[in-house]
């Protein structure tokens, strides 16, 4: 099964007030295993970058000034997404911006039926806990030491690791890949689990013959400890 993990960076929180998409990063998974195929693009938002947003992702007006418009990169993006399920953290936010950009250029929106929200998954698994990407990476031991600022492709890479953990861990991906007839797992991916046949429980009650042999053996013991008096 093909899935796309993606993340976006924007000029703010609400496309309805004029905020725009400025970066998108996508990671391809097949049967919960990253394939190495990615898509990454920056877009010129045609508006000034608020200082608060730039402090989060570091994308300045000068940096984005020579980047293509969304309309110029949309075909390559949609080709990479295909018709696969799309996984994002707080996915309504990312879907909202992506569909807003599609609406601005009169393109069809992406159906919310394709949306998989890792925040919702995390809430069901860890109710009452913190569900930010940073907090969940810490919970699952995912290294994010190289994440100084937010970045769409970097965050998508972290989210891909987190999604695998939230949905059963890396082992589930290996098992599904084997069932699909793919090549055996490499050393980097870890060993393929060995399937052993179920064995019936062994009888654990001593037979009459065994009890008699034990009684005869005990009778041969000289001064067994359990018959000795208390120590002086």
Taking residue 145's Cβ as centre, other Cβ atoms within 10 Å add up to 5
Average pLDDT, 10 consecutive residues per value, the chain (232 residues): 97 96 97 96 97 94 97 98 97 98 98 97 96 94 80 94 90 46 43 54 70 81 71 55
At residue 140's C-alpha, the angle toward residues 166 and 35, to 5°, is: 60
Residue 91 forms part of a structural domain = yes
* Catalytic residue (choose from 100, 146, 150, 214): 150
Cα first-last separation, the chain: 75
Give the rounded distance of the alpha carbon of 27 from its chain centre.
11
Enumerate residues 6+ apart whose C-beta is below 8 A from 221. Answer: none
Q: How many domains does the chain have?
A: 1
Question: Looking at residue 203, what is its pLDDT?
Answer: 61
Binding residues for a divalent metal cation: 7, 9, 155
CATH number where 162 lies = 3.30.420.10
Q: Has residue 128 been placed in a domain?
A: yes
Q: What is the pLDDT of residue 202?
A: 60
Q: Which two tokens stand for residue 6?
A: 């993606």
Q: Is residue 70 part of a domain?
A: yes
Q: Is 40 a catalytic residue?
A: no
What gap in Å lies between CA 48 and CA 10, rounded to an integer?
Answer: 11
Q: What is the pLDDT of residue 176?
A: 47
- Residue 144: its pLDDT value, please? 83
SS3 call for 28: strand
Which residues line the annotated binding site?
A: 7, 9, 57, 155
């Amino acid at each position: 099964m093909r899935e796309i993990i993606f993340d976006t960076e924007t000029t703010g929180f609400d496309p309805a007030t004029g905020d725009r998409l400025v970066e998108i990063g996508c990671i391809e998974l097949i049967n919960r295993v990253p394939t190495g195929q990615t898509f990454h693009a920056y877009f010129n938002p045609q508006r000034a970058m608020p200082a608060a947003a730039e402090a989060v992702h570091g994308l300045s007006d000068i940096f984005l000034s020579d980047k293509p418009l969304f309309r110029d990169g949309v075909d390559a993006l949609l080709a990479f997404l295909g018709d696969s399920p799309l996984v994002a953290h707080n996915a309504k936010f990312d879907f909202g911006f992506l569909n807003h950009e599609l609406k601005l250029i009169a393109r069809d929106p992406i159906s919310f039926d394709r949306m998989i929200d890792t925040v919702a998954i995390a809430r069901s698994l860890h109710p009452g806990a913190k569900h930010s990407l940073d907090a969940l990476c810490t919970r699952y031991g995912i290294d994010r030491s190289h994440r100084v600022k937010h970045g769409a492709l970097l965050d998508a890479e972290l989210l891909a690791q987190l999604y695998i953990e939230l949905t059963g861990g890396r082992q589930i991906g290996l098992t599904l890949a084997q069932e699909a007839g793919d090549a055996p797992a490499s050393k980097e991916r870890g060993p393929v689990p060995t399937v052993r046949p179920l064995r019936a429980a062994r009888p654990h009650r001593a037979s009459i013959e065994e009890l008699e042999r034990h009684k005869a053996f005990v009778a041969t013991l000289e001064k067994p400890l359990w018959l000795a008096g208390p120590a002086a």
